Amino acid sequence: MIPLSILENTRIPHSFYLLYENTYLQIELCMKMRTQYIALVLFVCILASCSQESVETIDIIKAENSKEVEQELLNVVNDHRISLGQNALEFSSIAYEYANAHSDYMVAKGTINHDNFSKRASDISSQVDAELVAENVAKDYVTASEAFEGWLNSSSHKNTMEGEFTHTAVSAKKDADGNLYFTQIFFR
């Protein structure tokens, strides 16, 4: 067995080929490898391979749905799509379940977000065999028309509303102060 101190000072030759003016040149490098550098590289690789969306644990209480606002927003989005010559979106009870859960989550956090979207999208895809899932979220609009106009004035939200989707669901939930939180999920 070779003592570690000898390995730390060992120069290990490395070579690679470089194409230069249609000629391969062999270039040999001598690199001093140290245990600490190897450990650092391994640590970074392991850290990068274990990254994932954070799943924050918070107390979520089911907030009150505003059914009239939900239906109005669904109608406004479909009317807009039809005016562009696109299909009207069909209501999906599965998308509604996930939209409601996300609106409750946003109410509990007190802010709009797309936290854990990839998990929602994956779950919806596996249940309905969807090939594409998207969502729009909003907060602090009093009416469905205001939320729609806010999304329409944002290119990314507009693209989602006008995208090639077949199904949707809208959740509009009120927090304790009566503020509305919106989640609309789209899929095809």
List the beta strands (DSSP E) in 33-129. 64-65, 90-91
| Phi, psi dihedral angles at 173 (to 5 degrees) | -120, 145
Lookup: tokens for 56: 């924050």
**Contact predicate 95/85, CB 8 Å:** no
Question: How far is it, in rounded angstroms, from Cα 33 to Cα 132?
Answer: 46
Pairwise CA distance, residues 21 & 113, whole Å:
53
Q: Is the pLDDT of residue 69 over 90?
A: yes
Across 34-52, average pLDDT: 47
Reported confidence tier of residue 8, pLDDT bands at 50, 70, 90? very low
Which has the minimum average pLDDT: 25-29, 32-36, 66-70, 131-135? 25-29
13 has pLDDT over 60: no
Q: How far apart are CA 22 and CA 170, in angstroms?
A: 60
* Phi, then psi, of 8 in degrees rounded to 5: -65, -25
Would you state the structure tokens that stand for residue 115, as one six-digit string? 């936290």
d(CA 116, CA 132): 16
Do residues 81 and 162 lie in contact, with contact meaning Cβ atoms separated by under 8 Å? Answer: yes
What is the predicted pLDDT for the residue at 72? 98
Label residue 156 exposed, middle or buried (CB < 10 Å: 0-12, 13-18, 19+).
exposed
When the pLDDT of each residue in the chain is averaged and rounded to a whole number, the result is 80
**pLDDT score, position 129:** 95
According to the model, what pLDDT value does residue 56 have?
55
Model-level pTM greater than 0.75? no
